[in-house]
Amino acid sequence: MLEYLLELDKNLFVFLNGMGSETFDPLWLFITKQFNWIPIFAIIFYLVFKHLGWKHALLVVVIIALLITLTDQTTNIFKRGFERLRPGNNPEISHFIRIVQKRSSFSFVSGHASNSMAVALFLYLVMKPYLKYMGFIFLWPLIFAYSRIYLGLHYPGDILCGYVWGISMSLIMWQVYKYARNHFFPLQKENLDHPTNR
């Protein structure tokens, strides 16, 4: 069963990766860099501070920093444990796939997918009472992680398992956040259902 899933994963990667072209390579190289997403998240954090107040917003920032650290380090443990070769380093397929970027590290699970989904879900849970269209934030991990397939760095299975791990880490830190919020930044009971009250 595992061999079948791995073969399916490899074939799906070859199909998706093969849809790329040199024309769009610069675009996906731009998308895959975390630094280039800063303007979008600057807007989101502005909205966090606007709706929650600076003390509560600082708590959100601290929790996100811890979330990224935890998620990033644990995905590295997975990579060292499973030692799955990246597609570009896999001799079975490396000679006919599109390798736009190459890395020497291992592939499973995707840190980009784990981190982006973890942060997206956490921000969604925090801000959904205040922002009507907060669900659009999930476009970020979808586009961000697909760039890894396009560039030849990850299999779809790496991405999907990264999403699952990111969601798991985010839900754990969501509980930490709620505990810290309730003990250090308590909201009046009658105001809990009114997002305009900080």
Q: What is the residue extent of each domain of the chain? A: 37-186
Q: How confident is the model at residue 192 (pLDDT cuts 50, 70, 90)?
A: very low
Structure tokens that stand for 46 in this block:
């502005």
Dist. CA 40–CA 18, nearest whole Å: 29
- What's the longest Cα–Cα distance across the chain? 63
More confident site: 190 or 86: 86
Q: Is the pLDDT of residue 83 over 60?
A: yes
Taking alpha carbons only, the member of 66, 74, 193, 73 closest to residue 122 is 66
d(CA 192, CA 183): 14
pTM (whole model) above 0.85? yes
Distance CA(89)–CA(99), nearest Å, equals 10
> How far is the C-alpha of 20 from the C-alpha of 76, rounded, in Å?
28
Amino acid symbol at 2: L
Closest CA to 125 of 197, 174, 68, 167: 174
Structure confidence by residue, pLDDT tens digits, 103-158: 888 999 999 999 999 999 999 999 999 988 999 999 999 998 899 999 999 999 99
> Which contiguous run of DSSP H or E holds residue 102?
none
